[in-house]
Amino acid sequence: MSLVKSTSKTKETKMSEEEGGFGITLAEKFFGLLIIIIGAIATYYTFTSFNDLGAYTGFLGFLSIVLLALGVLMLIAKTE
């Protein structure tokens, strides 16, 4: 009897883990899209106001492109 009970608990645990994976995947895709939007806006404002930024244009441009790349990686990554 105790063997049957432990098996059913294991199945319940596995099912709850699989159901929770969809929410994590959806959250990852959402935050990836959000980071892409923030990176695109940062890139646009960095390179359109390069006269005002002066020496910081390259650094801020690099950081905004890193945000874009991170967002794209989060969108195409597969969550296991």
The pLDDT tens digits of the residues spanning 41-63 come to: 999 999 999 889 889 999 999 99
Question: Would you kindly state where each structural domain of the chain is located, as residue ranges?
Answer: 21-76
Question: Helices (H), strands (E): how many in the chain?
Answer: 3, 0
Residue 21: pLDDT over 70: yes
Mean pLDDT across the chain, nearest whole number?
82
pTM of the model: 0.70
